[in-house]
Chains A and B, each alone.
Chain A
Amino acid sequence: MDAGLLEQMLIGALLALSVYLPLRCGQLSLATPGFFAIGGTVAALLSTRIPSFAGTGATSPLPALLLEMTLGGLLAALLALAIGGTVLRLRGIYLAIATIALVEILRVITLNLSFTGGALGIFGIPQPFATASGYAGFTLVLLALVCWLCARLEQLRLGRAMAAIRDDELAAACVGIDTAQVKLQAFVLSALLAGLTGVLAAHFLNSWNAKVGSFDASITTLAFVVFGGSRTWLGPVIGGLVLTALPELLRPVGDLRLIVFGLVILLGPVLFPQGLITPQRLQGLGPWVAGLGQQLRGRVPGPWRR
């Protein structure tokens, strides 16, 4: 398999984790593509407009990429912080609708601002890495770091509080968890992650336009989590990797590939309502994997503990 596809898969996995974070405390937010678009726009603007970010035009320096990631991630996180307090008062499907609206608002703003290039977008974005393998290596490190943090989250007070809110928000509030604060933190972390991913994606895709942050993208990223499973961090990662790769891996099927892809998306939740990866299923896979499953089971409360 090609490193370019691997990079797209890793970006998919990172976006899936960004949807997973609010879902961990029971908040169905579909705002991920909006924050993703913000990160990408920041990267595209900085690296095409500012000479020190642009490098030679073809290649841009790595420190510039890191700075873009900081700025893109922070801007997304700040926006999440600003609107989160209001938006997170909504629950369930209402929150989903509000976050879809956010994505649409950001998309229409991008289309109508002259400096974001309208529908044509920004192109000729310089490359921090000479090859797709460079991107894939860098993104793999980022993904590993994020996965590690998500795993660590299980042990932290914040992670426990998030799980408690998902289980029963009222009960969580009664034992003294500041539910509004915890939900906001999860939302901001999700935005930060999506913003960082956007910066990488903008460079990798060479061009950036308003289409990346669309309602379709919201549904795709949600599908990653639904398909992979939202019980452990591993579920979204696997969902993001598999669903991004599948249309490409199915190329030998020819014209039928999108039909097969649709069938997979359809059959996934039908056959595995909890998602592909559940701690219980991990346990059934063998002694070593069972170790991982047991740990997850020990940490993440769920019906499989019965």
Chain B
Amino acid sequence: MAAGPRLQSCAATSSKAGIRLGRRHRAALGLALLGSALSLGGCGGPDPAQQAVNLSQGVPLGAVLAMSGNANVYGQDQKTGLNLALAELNGKGGINGKPLALQIEDSGSDEPGANAAFTLQINRGVLALIGPTLSQQAFSADPIAQRRGVPVVAPSNTATGIPEIGHFISRVSAQSSVIAPLSIARALQLHPQIRRAAVFYAQDDAYSSAETTIFQQALTAKGLKPVTVQRTQLNDQDFQTQISAALQQKPDLVVLSLQAVDGGNMVRQLRELGYKGAIVVGNGMNTPNIYPICQKYCDGILIAQAYSPELRTPANIALLRRFKASQGGAIPPQLTAQAWTALQVLAEALQRLDRRQPLQQTNLAEARKALMAELLSGTYQTPLGEIRFTPEGEVIQNDFFVAQVRMDPSGKSGRFALLP
């Protein structure tokens, strides 16, 4: 990393040589660039979108999940959900006898990664895409799918404005403006004496700063204007400064819009520094992967849910059975159920489409377009309950819940217990 080392000599080329070399140099440059363009940029073959759907490996679908970077805790849950749904759907005969072939690609936790993974999947000739994990990635990658006419079902994007990116974009994850206020209302119901709310959010994170706006509006609507709003950074580990500042205001409710890792640390440090009141957290901490981070201190935090493991529908019973078989006794997290739902709605739409207009006779571009129309027109019995879509692709879901984290005495494991 040191700057250029000291060297002894200086260049001394005659101007004549300079001109001669200049010409050669230009040629060299041209050739080098041409070579790199040819070797790196050579695209393979004709546009697959104008050809028939390639069903040789099964009905091609793609998923783009954050399996690395700071959002990987969500991607792992989602991958589980997709793989379980894939096994279930293919066990029931796939798409009218043809198996589903789902390829999962890692997007990292940033936008260029999501763009590259989306493009890769689209070039492979997938009929539709599931993903990406983060809303911020969706704002960057979804326009690519929209331009190329590929249906997208987002399993976890909760920011406002995702389906509005284009008519090929839809989601099965209810937006935070619908869910977030529920947990506030529930906290006030449980603790009617709450008067002073403190709000924390990561100011450099899109999800956190979007959700905190909704939380703060919900608090103000309940007559609880936050007594303090503390800003953190996504990669922060130590929150003593913000917590001390907030505790001076003597809050009896803390509302966190943080992601799993920083949120888990925040909960732990809040309790360690002596905060005893209620804690409401946002969707970013809606994963059992917070247990190892805040351990016994996770106990009691309130979180709104778009999924209830207690729902007795055939789809949810299938999810519970498969989750138990593969992961041991635990209850599936919301992200897993939403990922399952994303694949299920695509599969059911494909089944209807294939019956009407067999896939092997349709070219890829038309099949993608028809699939999108089919997807939006259906009603689906999913682990999330009955869902439908608005014409824009926004999910219509009937039931939402509020859960409270209950940790085992060991502090190692716990569960999201739905409040009645």
A residues in contact (CB < 8 Å) with B? 1-6, 8-9, 23-24, 26-28, 91-93, 96, 107, 111-112, 118-121, 123-124, 127, 130, 132-133, 136, 140, 143-144, 147-148, 151-152, 154-155, 160, 163-164, 166-168, 205-207, 209-211, 222, 226, 230, 234, 241, 245, 247-248, 251, 255, 257-258, 291-292, 295, 298-303, 305
Contact = CB atoms under 8 A, between A and B. Distances in A.
Contacts of B206: 119-121, 209
A23 B136 contact: no
A211 B204 contact: yes
B209 A301 contact: no
Contact of B25 (A123, A151, A305): A151
| Chain A, interface SS category | helix
A272 B386 CA distance: 60
Contact of A136 (B26, B41, B208): B41
B9 interface: yes
Contacts, number: 173
Given A2-B119, A132-B119, A207-B139, A295 B24 contact: yes
A6 B40 contact: yes
Given A111-B204, A143-B33, A9 B2 contact: no
A164 B202 CA distance: 47
Interface of B: 1-11, 13, 17-18, 21-22, 24-26, 28-30, 32-33, 36-37, 40-43, 67-68, 105-106, 108, 110-113, 115-116, 119-120, 123, 136, 139-141, 143-144, 147, 159, 161, 165, 202-206, 208-210
B174 to A, nearest CB: 19
Contacts of B18: 155
A107 B371 CA distance: 41
Nearest to A231: B4
Closest 8 CB pairs between A and B?
Answer: A123-B139, A166-B4, A207-B139, A119-B209, A4-B119, A292-B28, A167-B7, A206-B143
Given A167-B10, A303-B7, A140 B204 contact: no
A120 B33 contact: no
Contacts of A167: 4, 6-10
10 contacts: A1-B40, A2-B43, A118-B209, A144-B29, A166-B7, A206-B144, A211-B111, A247-B113, A255-B106, A257-B106
A230 B105 contact: no
